[in-house]
Structure 1
Amino acid sequence: MPDWLQLMLNSLGPLLWAALFFTIPLTLLSFTLGLTLGLIVALIRLFGPAPLVAVARFYVWLIRGTPLLVQLFLIFYGLPSIGVTLDAFPAALIGFTLNIGAYTSEIIRAVIASVPRGQWEAAYSVGMSWGQAMRKTILPQASRIAVPPLSNTFISLVKDTSLAAAITVPELFQSAQRIVAVTYEPLILYIEAALIYLALSSVLSALQVRLESRLNRYGGFLEART
């Protein structure tokens, strides 16, 4: 067996372990929290009072206008200078959540705004409150439109978690870096890490296609009934 192949086989276990226990949990937690934050920010920007709208707009402007790596450095390396010290994983989780929240808020805001005004009027005409109309009429329609861009954001987040290596989170990419420091074979190890990221992204892309297809069939069924 070639040396390079033996090296890849020997390092596969540690890399998969890092992906399973750090990369995937970081991705899932960050996206779930970020999506929740994004929904709140989007609703504030669409329906909130002017002071809260200004705060939400500033947050989105700040996060979208600065690099994610800089945000992670500010949280992990910058906050200790004012007495706030976080472990690497919580710092990465906060950084990714804030970043995802800003980007998903724009997606959610756009899809909610795209729902025709007549849907609101129809919901009010049958006695729904604002909250009921939002929960039962507007969000279900908006969610079908939001699936493709939100899925793309999730897939991008899987790859962006590699930036957490810069603040010492022992995820997939940093595990590859640690093995490189011992084996002095950066090309082989980084290719292997890239292939694992590629495999994760490919699986998620396939799931995205299936989800979109199912939602399209469901949407067509509802349109046929109406």
Structure 2
Amino acid sequence: MSVLFEHMGSLGDGFLVTLELTLVAFPPAVLLGTVLGVCRVVPIRPLRFAAALYVHCLRNSPLLLIMVMVVFALPYAGFTIPLFPSVALGLTLYFSCYVCETVRSGIAAIPPGQIEAARAVGLRFSQILREVVLPQTFRSMVQPLGTIFINLALGSALGAAVGVQELTGSARQFNLTFAQPVTSFVSAAIGYLLITLTAGLIIGVIERKVRIQR
């Protein structure tokens, strides 16, 4: 245990990398997922088909495979991206699919009468989305988006498989150096628990505030 306290900095660095990966990958995942969710409900068949194909292909692939493809296949296509952004991009692409389905479900839950009323007053499709549909959709998506955030934080552990020294990678390196598997990986588990519990508390606060405003 004394070894752990003496070298806590290495695990702390891994914790910060995990937190950075999560915070960097989640906002673009929400943005891309929202665009995909809208594409899945627009009355334009090619857009619906393209978004559905994207979602089905990535959701039915392992996250590790997506990361490996982004990290190692993109250079063959002429795109050289540093390792950290590559892992963040893989997380973004994968979890945007889940955001997409959440957005699509939220849009489907909007009462049709509201959309018809918006059309009756002369709002265009883009205005209906921006002013009527999406605000209500995001209010109903707080808890699902929080779950996606937590899953993304946990999924970032696969970054260790492609060389990113995030929390799991740091715990593995600590174990290889000092041969203390229980200490190293229990410490990593505590780090992930700290992230997920904090996220859960923040999500609960946001959800209550949104519910009061309705």
For normalisation by structure 2, the TM-score amounts to 0.93
Say whether residues 1:176 and 2:171 are aligned partners.
yes
Determine which of 126, 133, 138 is the counterpart of 2:128: 133
The residue identity in structure 1 corresponding to 2:190 is L
Structure 2's unaligned 5+ residue stretches are none
Q: Which moved more, 1:183-192 or 1:71-80?
A: 71-80
Between the aligned partners of 2:77 and 2:152, the Cα distance in structure 1 is 29
Residue of structure 2 equivalent to 1:218: 213
Determine which of 179, 182, 196 is the counterpart of 1:187: 182
Q: Deviations over 1:189-210 (max 9, x none)?
A: 1100100110111111111111
Residue of structure 2 equivalent to 1:119: 114
Residue of structure 2 equivalent to 1:86: 81
Change (3 A) 1:8 1:107: same
Residue of structure 2 equivalent to 1:208: 203
How far residue 81 of structure 1 moved from its aligned partner, in angstroms, is: 4.6
Q: Secondary structure at the match of 1:78?
A: helix
Say whether residues 1:45 and 2:40 are aligned partners.
yes
How far residue 27 of structure 1 moved from its aligned partner, in angstroms, is: 0.8
Q: Output aligned runs, 1:89-168, within 5 Å.
A: 89-168=84-163
Q: Secondary structure at the match of 1:66?
A: coil
Determine which of 5, 9, 12 is the counterpart of 1:13: 9
Change (3 A) 1:213 1:197: same
Q: Secondary structure at the match of 2:150?
A: helix
Q: What RMSD, in angstroms, separates the aligned Cα atoms of the two structures?
A: 1.6
Runs of 4+ in structure 1 off by over 6 angstroms are: none
Q: Secondary structure at the match of 1:101?
A: helix
The residue identity in structure 1 corresponding to 2:126 is G
Change (3 A) 1:48 1:180: farther
Between the aligned partners of 2:43 and 2:28, the Cα distance in structure 1 is 21
Q: How many residues align?
A: 214
Structure with the greater alpha carbon radius of gyration: 1
How far residue 154 of structure 1 moved from its aligned partner, in angstroms, is: 0.3
Identity among equivalent positions (%) equals: 32
How far residue 30 of structure 1 moved from its aligned partner, in angstroms, is: 1.0
